[in-house]
Amino acid sequence: MFFQKKGAFFHGQKSVGYEKLSIKHIFIQTGDEMSDNALLLDERLREGQWVGDNGHLWIGQCDAVELANTYGTPLIVYDETQIRTNIRRYLDALKKTELNYRLTYASKAFCSKAMCHVAYSEGCFIDVVSAGEMMTALAAGVPASYLHFHGNNKSLDELRLALKQEVGLIIVDNKDELLALSRLAEEANGQVDIQLRIAPGVEAHTHEYISTGQQDSKFGFDWQSDQAIEALRLAATLPGIRVTGLHAHIGSQIFDASGFHDAVERMAELYKEGLLLGHSLQVLNMGGGLGIRYTSEDTPQPLEKMILGLAEAIKRIFTQFDIPFPALELEPGRSIVGNAGTTLYRAGWRKQVDGVRNYVAIDGGMTDNPRLALYGAKYEAMLANRASEAADTLWSIAGKCCESGDMIAWDVPLPNPEPGDLIAIFATGAYNYSMASHYNRLPKPAVVFVREGQARLVARRETWEDLIRNDVSL
């Protein structure tokens, strides 16, 4: 199924800037929904955010200080309008490719019933990688036909569940899974549509931990050793499955399009072989991976430019191979939710070592955001309750876990924080809540969606009772 749901765009404000300290500040004339006054903004802010004339950070027309006072901290705040805008920008760009297309939200970036509902309501299919994500999407009202089941080690029980629920598509990752799925489908007297995940062996130009398309990867059939073509040949002999597409996801947080174009070259060659083998190929799924801005060091390319460039590469290369254009499927996650999320923490105790570093501790850390500990991720920060004050001192933001690596940000400019101040960390919408843990027996934070001045709780804060609920006494 390939389609687009149309919707209006929500555009960000345009403005001109000036320099103050190391941070750019700008004044804009705002609309009635913000304030009658001109408000102070700076380059750390994302779309839909501003600093109010009360000196507070505002997100989705909600005062961040009031949100923290109402729901507690740590608190992950998602701007629902921004999520919907991000999806609509993808759909608009895909429409301009003049290819058939399908947009699938990679729920691993952030999976909740509310998020699955929003993505589906905007026209997305949902990519799930476990029975838990599958059941979350189903509980949100997403039809099973809109679910695409990923994962490099799906259990037999998970595959049986997918077949029982009649999910729309299973992306097969390896030979063992291919054989097992064929057997299970035959036992169920059914047929399931699949895509074969290919590791095309290209450079994604990203961190090694989030690079997935190289030859030495746990994901997919290897293109370079002919493993991929052998999988197509094997699939042509197996009952219960129908290969409808080829899939390649080369990595995440990508700013350089060359890796995608290199992958298309190899995928087109394989696609032609698949057609010659009699497979009903319709789709080239290029996964996700487009990067977002976490800090001023990041330079993401315009979304439309990346997608139209990819589409032109597909048309050119498929023409060279003399095969029909495929439908283009994309599976964004980070670029749908990343910039829509902001985490609010309460500042705790401080440690200052003259000539070395200033530390301020927060009431969360690697248990709700492990990305710095995993691969050195960088963030920008702001005192949400003193957002209009000069950020003239460097502070490192430390989590409360018993690990030296439990840091959220190193040496970010802030006003001198006081215990009780509210620290906002920007662009925490992807791979934060979804990767949260209970290390040191810390409960998971609450999550709220904000939209047009209204806030709604979409994930309750865990309690201490929740932490011991599954413990069994001796």
CATH code for the domain in which residue 270 is found: 3.20.20.10
In the sheet with 57-59, reading across from the earlier edge strand, the strands are 16-20, 23-28, 39-42, 49-51, 57-59, 62-63
Q: 47-65: b or e for each residue (b if 16 or more CB lie within 10 Å)? A: ebbbbbeeebbbbbbbbbb
What's the whole-model pTM score? 0.90
How many separate domains does the chain show? 2
Of the residues 336, 351, 366, the one at which a domain ends? 336
Place of tokens 């050793």: 225
Q: What is the pLDDT of residues 183-210, one digit of tens each?
A: 999 999 999 999 999 998 866 444 454 4
| Structure-token pair, residue 445 | 């934070």
Quick check: is 33 in a domain?
no
- Tokens at residue 24, please? 């750019």
Higher pLDDT, 28 or 123: 123
72/219 same-domain check: no
Q: Which residues are within 8 A (CB) of 390 and not within 5 positions of it... i.e. 6 or more apart? A: 20, 21, 415
403 is in an annotated binding site: yes
pLDDT interval class at 251 (50, 70, 90)? confident
Return all residues near 31 (Cβ < 8 A) that are at least 6 apart: none
Bridge-based pairing of strands 125-128 and 101-106 is: parallel
Dist. CA 220–CA 172, nearest whole Å: 8
Is 389 annotated as ligand-binding?
no
Residue 35 has pLDDT above 80, yes or no: no
In a domain, 110, yes or no: yes
Task: Determine phi and psi for 177, rounding to 5 degrees.
Answer: -65, -40
Return mean pLDDT, the chain: 89
Catalytic entry in 62, 116, 124, 402? 402
* Domain endpoint, select from 336, 366, 395: 336
Hey, what amino acid is at 294? Y
State the average pLDDT over residues 37-50: 74
334 known ligand binder = yes
Which segment of 214-223, 324-333, 345-354 scores lowest on mean pLDDT? 214-223
Examine the domain organization and report whether 214 and 262 are in the same domain. Answer: yes
For the question of residue 401 being annotated catalytic, the response is no
Task: Give the structural domain span for 166.
Answer: 80-336
- Is position 162 within any domain? yes
The reply to whether 68 and 213 lie within a common domain is no
Find the helix packing angle between 227-235 and 175-187, rounded to 10°.
Answer: 10
Predicted confidence (pLDDT) at residue 102 exceeds the cutoff of 90? yes
Decide if pLDDT at 26 tops 60. Answer: no
pLDDT for the residue numbered 23: 36
The verdict on whether residue 289 carries a ligand-binding annotation is yes
Q: What does the alpha-carbon distance between residue 426 and residue 341 come to, in Å, rounded to a whole number? A: 7
Is residue 265 marked as binding? Answer: no
**DSSP one-letter code for 380:** -
CATH number for position 356: 2.40.37.10
| 419 & 441 share domain | yes
Pairing verdict, β 341-353 and 357-362: antiparallel
Q: What is the pLDDT of residue 329?
A: 98
Same domain, 415 and 314: no
Examine residue 321 and state whether it is found in any structural domain, yes or no.
yes
Question: Amino acid letter at 186?
Answer: E
Give the DSSP per-residue string, 385-426.
TSTTS---EEEEEE-SSS-TT-EEEEEEEES---TT-EEEEE
Residue 179 CB neighbours (<10 A):
14
Say yes or no: 321 and 440 in one domain.
no
Say which residue, 299 or 450, is predicted with more confidence.
450
14 found inside a domain: no
**Structural domain contains residue 434:** yes
